[in-house]
Structure 1
């Protein structure tokens, strides 16, 4: 198992900042992304092209994308909820986009104001347009362990929706433990079902460390074949639609655990310190 390469998908600039109440200047966001670009991280989610009414913090998405200094070998991703967002992402030169769905009905209605089925139907034109432009689409699937409104999420439901998102055009599904309800046992139970429907190399882990279980879950997922994990510099952020969901897993902590298990990441921990310094001025 060890000796493989693991990819860390840095989500701090988007997921880490979206729920903050204090407005972060665009210049600070740009500096954070630029510092992360110098670490060896291969994928950075920079921002989200959503309505400023819903996420005021990311209203400057186009300005931030225009201001970053792109490093060779780094892919810069953005979240795009609809065709309007996709058009703006293309204009901003995003290397890939992401869509966001829920594995639970309660969270889908709270976050997207529609059912799970309706949310997937809404994505269909976006997938078609992205495919025409050869623009990769990543899928976030939230509440894969439990929902703050519906309780535990059946693994069979997660498997069905994840498989559907892959069929629609996602190259990868990021499994979101949105409220930090997971632990190795619950994750294993999910993967027991999910891996019968979706191969491990099409999955990523997005584990919140709300209750201190994220690193153990990363280790469990590694043993089951997953090789991509989302993390947030300095542990920035959570989810504004999930009560008690603070606690994105810290990028350095995730890297240290993954490295200790014998995997390569290509990330320079010393270089990460500058990004952490900037993040500390934000948090």
Structure 2
């Protein structure tokens, strides 16, 4: 069964960190989630004042964050002593688990800063596991070349084209079986590919517009398009398009969130706040 475009969530302009200007689609409200996806932020500016203050030291607990840089240079540092430089095309996959305190600060005074941050929920059984992170260089992210002339960067999961060839991503084996693909389509091209039938999936064009599904419903730039259930999807690009396809196996558990803490109950949120205030969050 082919997936169709079921719901559109336009990204809203807002700010986060110390005033970094962003656009938020999923996560702009508790109702704008797609289990297990909690949030997607896009940052994109040539003006240093929009990003220079960065994201000073702050905590997380109970989920994973994925930072994908398109342009610019960001430095990650955390309480465990990790230090990671993210440049154009690089990805950082961080599991906050029971707790991490980190900062993400621009390492440039001018020029374009552009990329995305994604939040993926963890099941209750993994929310208190030790924190960990992995930096993935752009050259280590597999690409699948499409017969149309386009390409798919497979950050997480496996991409299987309509000819049956499969490309395995840089990240695999997460409990949510996460998918994270950056798809580039040339003008006047159509692509159809398979998807895990039980996954929740959305697409996010960040350059250009496209038509989705058999009914060719339109989806514009910086709009999150939530897909219906199914085992495949068809995308049509009348102009050059770049988009993210993101999804995962739903967890199906209650969500309690307070800012950077995502747990299952309000009591667990209170515990996270108390642990942070008293220096216990990060163990």
TM-score (norm 2): 0.33
The alignment's TM-score, normalised by the length of structure 1, stands at: 0.33
Going by fraction, where is helix more abundant, 1 or 2? Answer: 1
